A and B are shown apart, each in its own frame.
Chain A
Amino acid sequence: KAGVTQTPRYLIKTRGQQVTLSCSPISGHRSVSWYQQTPGQGLQFLFEYFSETQRNKGNFPGRFSGRQFSNSRSEMNVSTLELGDSALYLCASSSLGRRDRVYHEQFFGPGTRLTVL
């Protein structure tokens, strides 16, 4: 099975622009989560999608948004970029069901490194 893929791997933008990052989960996985990784704040949860619905959201401003398509692929968008948005954005997928109590491992992609100048 192919792993989680993220595109692009590297991106350079300037302040004020917007950016869209893409994540393709492992085949059959319906849950996709996004995390931001920075040297100062570490790894922080952005949001989780399941069956095209946002199920969980972290503490980020409204400039950060996401969506999930019917094929489980997910995108996240950051509008009005700020220098502090420079980070590695990681996507993770799992076969987690709606609200089951069984553990499902999250598999991480290689990330998209965003640099804001």
Chain B
Amino acid sequence: AQSVTQLDSQVPVFEEAPVELRCNYSSSVSVYLFWYVQYPNQGLQLLLKYLSGSTLVKGINGFEAEFNKSQTSFHLRKPSVHISDTAEYFCAVKKSSGDKLTFGTGTRLAVRP
């Protein structure tokens, strides 16, 4: 079975500062990796995904993530955050295209002016 650990439940950061949200996963097989964002009272929106190939993946809203197989990590980064990035971010894995998503517990990003 797969599992996902998001090491930080909350990350406060000032506007225009860089941010990194950490995600580690555990799986005995190859997996697909995802980051989703959830704004208040809304569903989940896909930020980016790693399926194969280049380990650095770029997503929407200026976010990027790097897949590190040896460290089983998939950390999310943004060089300069905006107030509008305040939301909950979820890391997720699935072992194949037909499998369910397994989510981490989420990281609440709070961007301060």
The chain A residues found within 8 Å of chain B, CB to CB, are 4, 33, 35, 42-45, 48, 55-56, 58, 90, 92, 96, 99-106, 108-111
CB closest residue in chain A, given B106: A42
Q: Hey, what's the 0/1 contact readout for B45-68 against A, CB within 8 Å counting as 1?
A: 110010100000000000000000
The chain B residues found within 8 Å of chain A, CB to CB, are 32, 36, 41-46, 49, 51, 90, 92, 96-106
CB closest residue in chain B, given A99: B98
**Cβ B103 vs Cβ A42 within 8 A:** yes
B42 smallest CB distance to A (angstroms): 6
Q: A45-B101, A102-B97 are in contact. Are A110 and B42 (CB under 8 A)?
A: yes
**Cβ B45 vs Cβ A108 within 8 A:** yes
**Cβ B51 vs Cβ A48 within 8 A:** no
Cβ–Cβ < 8 Å partners of B46 in chain A? 105-106
Of the candidates A55, A102, A108, the one having the most CB atoms from chain B within 10 angstroms of its own CB is A108
CB closest residue in chain A, given B96: A101
**Cβ A56 vs Cβ B99 within 8 A:** yes
With the chains together, A45 CA to B92 CA distance in Å? 12
**Cβ B102 vs Cβ A45 within 8 A:** yes
CB closest residue in chain B, given A46: B100
Q: A42-B104, A43-B90, A103-B32 are in contact. Are A90 and B99 (CB under 8 A)?
A: no
Q: A42-B106, A103-B32, A103-B51 are in contact. Are A33 and B100 (CB under 8 A)?
A: yes
